[in-house]
Structure 1
């Protein structure tokens, strides 16, 4: 340790102690200065950097305990050693609890005082190394966290693009519904937000909306692409697509929260829907939201077997089916959506 780089401040109202201790540490190669009061010592600390303070406890006006409090509050990296008489040991122990590193009893051996200073400096060095290590560790954790968040975002984006590619392929197959999946995704998000859903719930709803008709992969072209109304037997085949989609995706963990829409988007509020005949609140909220959106888009879009209707006509038709096909509360919220936003998505 290079002593001439170590600054020690001695604080004692006894001039002889200040002179003896200061002279001794200067002879040992330290930079050492003395102050006769706690207040003047504090001013000195504010003006010059010190590594160690040696202070008496009992002094006139402001004592060593007061100075210790001020040092701990304003100069936490300065190590403090208390100098005290035999009758002040209780005070010295209190000082240790406040944050002093050590205490030395008067009259003291100067060599012992020097060893106490060396121990204090070693303690200070270890604390500083620990602080640097913690800072570096925190920085590495922060950097790693950013990397993980970026990786997670990339995975999420890959998942989303994969799903969109799958649905685009399905939309291309069913040309008459071109753009349907993307429109219902945006309209589902808008309605869900209006209903107060946030965070992951919005993600699950938009994924479910995107994937709602994935089960149509299992429907023959002769039925799916038929340019005329389906027969009763053909409808029975068409009705399996929610269960087919659910069965396709149920083992994909990250999609599981979204499968409520895939399986239940054709359930009716009165229990007359399919595939499970669920009724009222038995139908998952996500599916009740999507049912309104899906019907609205179907009504306002051209299909091979029908022409698109206006937004106003679609709203009236949805109202006619409240409590039979749709949840009344969700319909009321849907009808309050800003018309310009609906037109933009339609």
Structure 2
């Protein structure tokens, strides 16, 4: 009998979300198949995903021609195309959303990344996306920049569900969780039903190893080389320990008594970037209840085929590992790694990457509008 590895992962309390969305995936029935056959219960998107989708194939051509005929400019066209895909995906996941009482069946869309360092504009954009998509199972993604933290609390206080993205350090993650609690308290004061308000905190994984390994290689000592590939998993496990701490606090218990749901950690960037590492590494080693793992389709199929959903520590490979994980960071510091600089670099690069992708998206749509005869691109 075939082993249902994804089913085992789901049974262990890990919600499986797909880190990708496109018009072709929706119209071909591929996404529906992944929901049916691969235990997929949610979708995340980002500017890079949409830039890639728009640049490939012909799925958007008719929609772009229609918008061009209406005189839509580039920004309006991008907004219409992306929110249409997300709205349709929300509808596809609506049964899961209802069956899980709003825990899963979620689809995320990100605010314009060029606003990442502007509190007021980020908040306004989040509200506009919420109203435009107009689906209760939407998550609006807000990056965890210094300016994004108060935007998270403010957006939640308006009754809008938030996926906090681009979290790299445990220190910043604690700020995110505090912003969630602030937002819940604000939402309660504003008369919102806390049982209907949820959030996830997207903690990026593989990029940590990519940056730290590069620095370890530059140091070049045997001690440094021995630490390659250890930073990302340790970082995520420390984040989960912080999650357990915050969501067992008296402050949280008071909110939970009013119907609030915890802000689950979401393991993002879980496709392995180093070919020397197992292609299911960032799934296998982060199996723990009350989490989400959002995977590229390649990783999803790899886990289904040969994920290590077994062993003495399965299904819980995270709790109780705080001290071991902390030792990894003690060793990294001793080897000469500036941990604070690693996380700052990753945050800045993350924002820059999404900004670049957004510009590419605008350029692609501009060319498509010109081709359609709009002439306003």
Q: Same fold (TM over 0.5)?
A: no
Give the alignment's TM-score, normalised by structure 1: 0.28
Q: Which has the higher contact order (CA 8 A, sep 6+)?
A: 2
Q: Larger Rg: 1 or 2?
A: 1
TM-score when normalising by structure 2 = 0.26
